Amino acid sequence: MKFPSPVAVQWIADFLGAELIGNENGIVTGINEIHKVERGDLVFVDHPKYYDKCIQSAATFIIINKKANCPEGKALLVCESPFEAYLKIVRHFRPFEPATKSISSSATIGEGTYMYPNVFVGHHVSIGKNCFIHPHVTILDHCIIGDSVIIQAGTVIGSDAFYYNTKKDRDVWYKKMESCGRVIIEDHVEIGANCTIDRGVSHDTLIGRGTKIDNLVHIGHDTVLGKNCLLAAQVGIAGAVDIGNGVILWGQVGVSKTLTIGDNAVVYAQSGVPASLEAGKTYFGSPAEDASVKKRELVWIKRIPELWKKVMG
């Protein structure tokens, strides 16, 4: 999430009650999760396992619960609970705004766009020209829809990320990380009925130009889906997945988190993708492997009873 305007790191430290170490004159441009940080961003870390990763990341400012060596030009904001500090910043810069009507006055809707009855459009939403938004579609705050987009009935754009801060030494193990990211849908995208596309935790979930999505598809937070992709019904994609251009995922494919699928890859129906896939290949199975290899394996598996009889005489 980018702040409306840059903020002095000293102001952030005072706001959080944090001890400031390092560059006291820095300017903070936004807050982000570790897998999406950019220069000028603020990130938080509360586990020793990830201290070095966060400090050495692209982030310029690090909220941390222990003093550490600070690289030149960066700053540490040391406080007792970095997670609570993250929430405080999110709530300040992206506060909850109650809805008072079905289409917010702060939403902008382009010429030629038609919305059926019972569509909900939240605050600060932008919808482009010549779109068709079908009944019971929900487009939540800060989402951006391009031109000539079709969204079928019952789809939800911008639902919260399924993302939690986990500590098993407390009564409530999973504490919600409030989502301040967006969903951006580029031009000429079609989205089927009853799909769910989660907003980024602190960055953007992106659906590339010309991509077509069937019914009952779920796309997790911070996923980047390339241009001209094709997703069949009941595909499920976890968070922070990078999918290239021209990728085809057939029905009921499941994709695990934080992996990459290369351009023009094809994954056959009911496959499971636990790790990154190379571009330009066809995959099948769970775990998904080269489809031609997997099919030969299945042929041999079917022959096991016959082979067993020969071995046993």
Task: Please identify every residue annotated as catalytic.
Answer: 221
Phi first, then psi, for residue 35 (nearest 5°) are: -80, 0
Residues 6+ positions from 242 with CB-CB distance below 8 Å:
223, 224, 259, 260, 261
3-state secondary structure of 87: helix
CB 232 within 8 A of CB 269: yes
Q: 138-170 burial, b for 16+ CB within 10 Å, e for fewer?
A: bbbbbbbbbbbbebbbbbbbbbebebebeeeee
Are the C-beta atoms of residues 270 and 255 closer than 8 Å to each other? no
N- to C-terminal Cα separation, the chain: 69
| Alpha-carbon distances of 164 from 87, 160, 167, 174, 181, rounded to whole Å | 12, 11, 10, 5, 15
Going by C-alpha positions, the residue among 111, 242, 94, 252 that lies closest to residue 177 is 94
Q: Are 289 and 301 in contact (CB under 8 A)?
A: no
Q: State the Cα–Cα distance between residues 106 and 140, nearest whole angstrom.
A: 12
Q: Using DSSP bridges, classify how beta strands 132-133 and 114-115 pair: parallel, antiparallel or unpaired.
A: parallel
Query: What residue type is assigned to position 255 of the chain?
Result: V
Evaluate whether 1 touches 31 at the Cβ level (below 8 Å).
Answer: yes
Rounded CA Rg of the chain: 23
